[in-house]
Structure 1
């Protein structure tokens, strides 16, 4: 079984219940970055997402 990469937006924005999970780290980061930009108006870099928000489950 492959590891999944998960981002729970509630960790970054307490009022948001968005969750993305994918076996493809690049896809998870792309979806999370797009969500943060479109919904929260924040530009978040890939490294910040990996270090601060992305979990391997």
Structure 2
């Protein structure tokens, strides 16, 4: 079974229901970065996303 990389934005921002999940970690990170920047006006590095928000499911 292949691992998937997931960002559940509700864990970071309680009023947001955005979820991204991908088997490609790079894709999940880029989509999560774009969402955090465009919707929440937060600039996060790849490492910050991986350490604080991205889950392996």
Structure 1 ranges of 4+ moved more than 3 A = none
For residues 29 and 11 of structure 1, what CA distance do their matches in structure 2 show?
16
Matched ranges for 1:1-57 at <5 A: 1-57=1-57
The size of the alignment, in residue pairs, is: 57
SS at match of 2:49: helix
User: 5+ residue gaps in structure 1?
Assistant: none
User: 5+ residue gaps in structure 2?
Assistant: none
For residues 5 and 48 of structure 1, what CA distance do their matches in structure 2 show?
14
Q: Normalising to structure 2: TM-score of the pair? A: 0.97
